[in-house]
Amino acid sequence: MPRLVVVSNRVAIPDPTGKGSAGGLAVALKEAFQAYRGLWFGWSGRVSAHPSLEPKLVDKGNVHYALMDLTPIDRQEYYNGFANRALWPNMHYRLGLSEFSRADYAGYLRVNRSFANALARMTRPDDLIWVHDYHLIPLAAELRALGLTNRIGYFHHIPWPAPEVFGTLPGSRELLRSIADYDLVGVQTDRDADNLRRGIVQEFGATQQGTDVVVLDGRRTRIKGFPIGIDVKGFQQVARRSPAHRVVAQTVASLGPRRLIIGVDRLDYSKGIPERMEAFERFLISNPDQRGNVTFLQIAPTSRSEVPEYASLSRTASETLGRINGALGEPGWVPIQYVTSAYPRSVLASLYKIARVGLVTPMRDGMNLVAKEYVAAQDPEDPGVLILSKFAGAAQQLTDAFIVNPNDKFEVAEAIRDALHMDREERIARWKRMMKIIEDYDVSWWADSFLKELGDRKGTNKARRRV
Ligand code: GDG
């Protein structure tokens, strides 16, 4: 079996406390590495004025970690700058928030080149290389320029926007071109795959072979949807354990007979947190009998706080929260409880299970793993109801959720009302159908099917150097 080399912006070395990083990628890759031996290469998360050009090596069980430090300017330009201030908003259709700077883009390309230089020295000719996410789109092009002929795959965790949207970003043409240096590109949904293939065909006149393959300058790149899943069994085990944690006990005690609605998201404008609070406000205004009978708990761990748009979102969320709780709360009842720290997975799992409604209403989301975790955590005899944005990749699979448009707070408010009124029989029927999909397409399916296709040499590109 070839060695698996995973490359991602952040490398998450397992943390015995279980708190770890709150990011979806860390959760997903942990599962993938249980099956495959290999190397995980990426940023250590540290900055230093004079970082080594060689990675720091750490061995943990069957995975070797190779960690690169960044300079403060690298972090500013590559990570906070181009990746998170230009690419992220563009790919989430927020063109008004996308801030392009030439210096940031140059920093993004520079870090990709320096990662490629360090990685190329560590790879063996038969390694399967699996690159993750929008921070590292040009990595394959840089590796090919160094002469690597390995099979290289890329998985894009966030939406791939329509060509008309992506094309507004300076640098987008070059990035699209560098996609063709991968052998396999995975995206979350068929719609994303279609957007990316159309982009390459429109921009370069590439030809399409069959449904999935585009051919550009003689190189074949297969572009397909591989919807990411969760570790269903592991998550259910955690959810079944008795809620020993203080936070769970206090939540149960403070709820009393009230019903709980839960939201769990990184504090990110793509997740629609203030919009969701306003939908809950609308629900309380339209259903005054429900005041005092339901609590909405929003867990929103702070994220990317060095990026100005995130600081601004944090202010908006706090203001919206304060306004709604001030206007509608009563002594002894706070309508929205809002916390910005991260909790252990076991606490999340217990809270999901207690909650009658899971409110997952991103404005745009690649997949959204919280939606799947919420469903997996439910009690099969008395499951809760998932309300899910039509703009989350998960909505393509979980069609038995209440699918809503998060831009319409009246529609979301009505879905909350209907979810709270749904009888047990219907809740069970919907839950069973969603659970089947979540189990069939779990994280092992995702990693196995991507890697199987990446390793498949049928119709492959000939091993050749690019000049
Ligand atoms: C990106 C894409 C795609 C959240 N708060 C805490 C915590 N979390 C965990 C959740 C879940 C994960 O973080 C978040 O995953 P999402 O998928 O919801 O969102 P992103 O972080 O934006 O992830 C997304 C994903 O990549 C995978 O491809 O689905 O579309 O944007 O697992 O449970 N975990 C802990 N404490 C928290 O407070 N321990």
Gap between the Cα atoms of 276 and 338, Å rounded = 12
Q: Please state the domain extents for the chain.
A: 4-229+445-455, 232-440
Q: What one-letter code names the amino acid at 133?
A: D
**Percent of the chain at pLDDT exceeding 70:** 93
| CATH 3.40.50.2000 corresponds to the domain 232-440 | yes
Residue with tokens 């063996």: 124
In the block, residue with structure tokens 């068929």: 190
User: What is the 27 CA–ligand 1 centroid distance (Å)?
Assistant: 8
Angle between helices 345-354 and 246-255 (to 10 degrees): 20
* pLDDT attached to residue 62: 75
Relative to beta strand 56-60, strand 63-70 is: antiparallel
Angle between the N-to-C axes of helices 369-377 and 424-440, in degrees from 0 to 180, rounded to the nearest 10: 120
Q: What does DSSP assign to residue 87? A: I
List the residue whose alpha carbon is closest to atom 28 of ligand 1: 157
Closest approach atom of ligand 1 to CA 344: 39
Separation of CA 30 and ligand 1 centre (Å): 13
Which range, of 40-54, 82-96, 352-366, 447-461, averages the lowest pLDDT? Answer: 447-461
How far is residue 153's CA from residue 348's CA, in Å, rounded to a whole number? 32
Residue of the CA atom closest to atom 22 of ligand 1: 24
Given a cut of 80, is residue 368 above it in pLDDT?
Answer: yes
Instruction: Let me know the angle formed at the C-alpha of 279 by 374 and 250, rounded to the nearest 5 degrees.
Output: 50
Sole residue written with tokens 């000719």: 125
Coil, strand or helix: which one is 356? coil
Q: DSSP letter for 267, please.
A: S
What does the pLDDT read at residue 65? 93
Out of 158, 266, 271, 343, give the residue to mutate to test ligand 1, the one with the largest number of ligand atoms within 8 Å of its CB.
266
Q: Which residues are catalytic?
A: 157, 365
Q: What is the atom index within ligand 1 of the atom nearest the CA of 373?
A: 33
Mutate to test the pocket of ligand 1, among 94, 158, 245, 367 (most ligand atoms within 8 A of CB): 367
d(CA 363, CA 360): 10
Distance 149 CA to ligand 1 centre (A): 33
The answer on pLDDT for 11 being more than 70 is yes
- CA nearest 160: which of 104, 92, 209, 222? 92
Query: Closest ligand 1 atom, CA of 341?
Result: 38
- Residue of minimum CA distance from atom 27 in ligand 1: 24
Task: Kindly report, residue by residue over 155-213, the tens digit of the pLDDT.
Answer: 999 999 999 999 999 999 999 999 999 999 999 999 999 999 999 999 999 999 999 99
Q: Which of 368, 374, 391, 443 to mutate to test the pocket of ligand 1 (most atoms within 8 A of CB)?
A: 368
Nearest CA to ligand 1 atom 33: 370
Task: Give the integer Cα–Cα distance in Å for 113 and 119.
Answer: 10
Residue 333, amino acid: W
Share of the chain above pLDDT 90, in %: 82
d(CA 101, CA 72): 17
Range 4-229+445-455 has CATH code 3.30.43.10: no
* Residue ranges around ligand 1 (CB below 6 Å): 22-25, 27-28, 157-158, 228, 264, 266, 299, 301, 342-345, 348, 365-370, 373
Kindly report the protein residue whose alpha carbon is nearest to atom 25 of ligand 1. Answer: 24
| Closest by Cα among 295, 288, 292 to 260 | 295
CA-only gyration radius of the chain, Å: 22
Distance CA 151, CA 208 (A): 20
Ligand 1 geometric centre to CA of 357 (Å): 18
8 Å CB contact between 349 and 234: no
| Inter-axis angle of helices 24-35 and 443-455, nearest 10 | 60
- pLDDT value at 68 more than 90: yes
pLDDT tier at 43, thresholds 50, 70, 90 = very high
pTM: 0.95
Mean pLDDT within 104-112: 98
- Whether pLDDT at 25 is above 90: no
Q: Render pLDDT for 216-246 as a digit per residue (tens, 0 to 9).
A: 999 999 999 999 999 898 889 888 886 678 8
- DSSP code at position 135: G
Label residue 417 exposed, middle or buried (CB < 10 Å: 0-12, 13-18, 19+): middle
Please write the tens of the pLDDT for every residue from 404-431: 999 999 999 999 999 999 999 999 999 9
Ligand 1 atom index nearest CA of 369:
17
| Distance from Cα 372 to the centre of ligand 1, integer Å | 11
Residue nearest to atom 37 of ligand 1 (CA): 342
Q: How far is ligand 1, taken at its centre, from the CA of residue 291, in Å? A: 30
Burial 140-172 (b: 16+ CB within 10 A, else e): bbbbbbeebebbbbbbbbbbbbbbebbbebebb
Q: How confident is the model at residue 37 (pLDDT cuts 50, 70, 90)?
A: confident
Whether 161 and 170 have beta carbons less than 8 Å apart is answered as: no
- Say whether 232-440 and 4-229+445-455 share the same fold: yes
CA-CA distance, 95 to 78, in Å (whole number)?
Answer: 19
Query: How many other CB atoms are there within 10 angstroms of residue 119's CB atom?
Result: 25
| pLDDT at residue 424, rounded to an integer | 98
Centre of ligand 1 to C-alpha 355, Å, is 18
Q: Which atom of ligand 1 is nearest to the CA of 393?
A: 30
CA atoms within 13 A on the CB side of 179: 32
What's the CA-to-centroid distance between 425 and ligand 1, angstroms? Answer: 30
Ligand 1: which of 25, 245, 264, 438 to mutate, most ligand atoms within 8 Å of CB?
264
Atom of ligand 1 nearest to the CA of 228: 28
pLDDT band at 26 (very low <50, low <70, confident <90, very high): low
- Sign, CA torsion 434/439/441/444: positive
DSSP 8-state secondary structure symbol assigned to residue 34: H
